[in-house]
Structure 1
């Protein structure tokens, strides 16, 4: 039984963690101070250390340092506050296995512990078809398939990763652009540095500059504290800018200067700060098209376009879908402690016919959900989401055939198209499940936010 030492100056946290981890099959000891934790570490010799960063006597940095001196191979997970992201990056540089932020979520902690206690890399595994399927090593973030298009992508990633080139990664939503970026980082000379990701499509134009470059206290209304930007957080490592075409033109001007000179000034500051950052960007639209539309600077594009990658959609990857599905099944079996063996013939046919608009992300979510619902040895049709089993009946109506929709969509009898009505009901059901949060509903439906907004607008929702 693996042994875990929990160090936290909050007695309630120690008690809760002791109960939770013991229930999940671990032997647990606790300590309510850093020094007490280090003393117990020497006697208890745990397999993993879980320590809060802010302790009453010494901080998590010293606990981590001393623990590594005593037990160099001990995996350490640090608990930090949400605002302590720079602290988190520093402890990772010092050798922490990972960090979790407050508020604490039991499932997240359990998943990190299980990952930390794994040793070695996974070997290739035979699939039910008898072929060797790809298995992600513990430090890999992207699963490469065996199709020719997947092998070409893997070859390109391995080629560009050791360089310091900036890379543009193109691909549909859910195809794995960020996972590709992480894999490039982990295969690079910067792998021991931080990997910092920013979703440019999720940040308002007003805040994008502050998020990228940071700001000084009092530099604008609401700037009550100094803020460290993503560039500084990524110093010595890799900065990944997802949906980079969404940045405003003004921010692009400032970004170009930072990329060219590897220096920045925080908003409201006068001091120039030297940075050493490799930049990877991603977009689901071609940047030359954004340039033609006046949305993206051509000079910035050429700075980024030292190398480009196209991440194929799942429907382009042929039988890779079954290899990925079996990998996700194995992954979910471990997380849920289940022993589901595979997929029924009906399920395999549905997987083959379904267009997978959410790509690999959607496939992973479907397999996780189906595994959770499965009580037998194989995943059956009844465990699949409604839209996969009935996708041929729910094909979206083409633009030129779209019926005129009246304001009150809840009057089903007014709808001229059964498919349109079904789509409306799916969206409304998803919205209700997440208390009408559009971002969460989009995630549940495996579509991006913009697509959901456009559909709701057309439906007068």
Structure 2
């Protein structure tokens, strides 16, 4: 049943057919739906209406999905955002996740897949709302369990978890987006002496600068416009348990100073408050950046880095853990069967071969989404290649997609050649998708037009526009 507190959805898409289909489907499911074809009108709607969730296409006339996401979060950081993207834009969808999107779905759209993603957003929103009350331990769900892979990298991570969990040491968990950093943090918590106490996760990358202090340390009534009641911060909500700070490198200098005091003294100072509050929290942090590099660039305080770096766990990307793919695929298949009320029995061998040949820019999150969609459309008792997107079925072991390089047994390449081939492939792919629109291509690749033209010239990419 849809919870009344989460019933208002805004769809932003220039494709009228998609908008009408989603509007009709979600309205039938009990949601109140608004539809806008432009980002400008959508932002006005968000300011005027009580919107809980935004479903936005990545490719809009004047803004990208990431730009819409950032503007939405400025207006109201509590709004969940789901990005709709072509499969070729997975890397861009991953970037949106880093900046605070809840999740992404790929085209062609399936209403049931959209509904499942919305339900997850509902669950996450209500778990966050529960955090404003005295925290209590929640029953662990299957999707929150850490899955042990057979690869050397996964076995090493498991050993590190078993080693560090019984202690109260702080841990830095590093790895690309989608590699399972929060799952590792939950596993550490669940194996620790704090397991029966709260586990609170915070995405620092999604915290608006002006509200980060309030979210982390709380505020008192009247501390700022909109502070209509006292609110406990994440440190207080996690008291006695574990606080997981994802994308820790995004915190401002001021927040870092406050964080250091909380770590060293066990005290937090709510915004607008006159008293410091003692807390007993174990802190685990995650990053997809090199914190030491951020320290060297004066973007992250060295004293906090050393305070957090009591132990470090590095998660390898899925493309380097082929031995794990079958284990995770089986786990995600079981989960998708349960959610979608289906009984798919496994994968054809060719599907698993394609999985192992693909480079997985979105890592485990992408594998989960691919399998969920395959289960949704599968008409056989096993997942076949016909259920997979062409970006995966077209990949071979000697030919990775979108400019990635896999060297075959008959030759070798220098690092420069590998880098140039990867760049050439990526630029050509985005040029094709934008019909050789240089301005749009530069925006999607996050470079200026001059840099794009110089790259095209250096890599001998013909201008077909």
TM-score range relative to shorter protein: 0.5 to 0.7
1:294 and 2:339 correspond? no
**Number of aligned positions between the proteins:** 312
Of 393-402 and 149-158, deviating more is 393-402
Q: 2:350 aligns to what?
A: 346
- Contact conserved, 1:370 with 1:384, CA < 8 A, in 2? yes
Q: TM-score with structure 2 length normalisation?
A: 0.60
Deviation at 1:349, TM superposition (A): 2.1
Deviation at 1:322, TM superposition (A): 1.3
Alignment of structure 1 residues 191-206 onto 2, 5 Å: 191-206=195-210
1:322 and 2:326 correspond? yes
Q: Where in structure 2 are there 5+ consecutive unaligned residues?
A: 4-28, 30-122, 405-417, 436-441, 453-465
Structure 2 CA distance for aligned equivalents of residues 231 and 453 of structure 1 = 38
Alignment of structure 1 residues 54-453 onto 2, 5 Å: 84-86=129-131, 90=135, 92-93=136-137, 97=139, 141-390=145-394, 394-396=401-403, 419-424=429-434
Q: Where in structure 1 are there 5+ consecutive unaligned residues?
A: 1-5, 9-19, 21-77, 99-114, 116-137, 405-415, 426-451
- Which of 441, 445, 458 is the equivalent residue of 1:455? 445
Deviation at 1:315, TM superposition (A): 1.2
Compute the RMSD of aligned alpha carbons: 3.5
Structure 2 CA distance for aligned equivalents of residues 393 and 289 of structure 1 = 30
Deviation at 1:97, TM superposition (A): 4.3
Does the C-alpha gap of structure 1 residues 402 and 181 become closer, same or farther in structure 2, counting only changes over 3 Å?
closer
- Contact conserved, 1:170 with 1:285, CA < 8 A, in 2? yes
Does the C-alpha gap of structure 1 residues 321 and 81 become closer, same or farther in structure 2, counting only changes over 3 Å?
closer
Does the C-alpha gap of structure 1 residues 214 and 361 become closer, same or farther in structure 2, counting only changes over 3 Å?
same
Residue-by-residue CA offset, 1:50-103 (whole Å, 9 max, x unaligned): xxxxxxxxxxxxxxxxxxxxxxxxxxxx9996784246654x34xx748xxxxx
- Contact conserved, 2:358 with 2:400, CA < 8 A, in 1? no
- Contact conserved, 1:140 with 1:186, CA < 8 A, in 2? no
Does the C-alpha gap of structure 1 residues 81 and 389 become closer, same or farther in structure 2, counting only changes over 3 Å?
closer
Q: TM-score with structure 1 length normalisation?
A: 0.61
Structure 2 CA distance for aligned equivalents of residues 287 and 153 of structure 1 = 19
Q: What secondary structure, in the 3-state scheme, does the structure 2 residue paired with 1:342 have?
A: coil
Structure 2 CA distance for aligned equivalents of residues 217 and 152 of structure 1 = 47
- Contact conserved, 1:394 with 1:419, CA < 8 A, in 2? no
- Contact conserved, 1:394 with 1:423, CA < 8 A, in 2? no
Structure 2 CA distance for aligned equivalents of residues 255 and 346 of structure 1 = 50
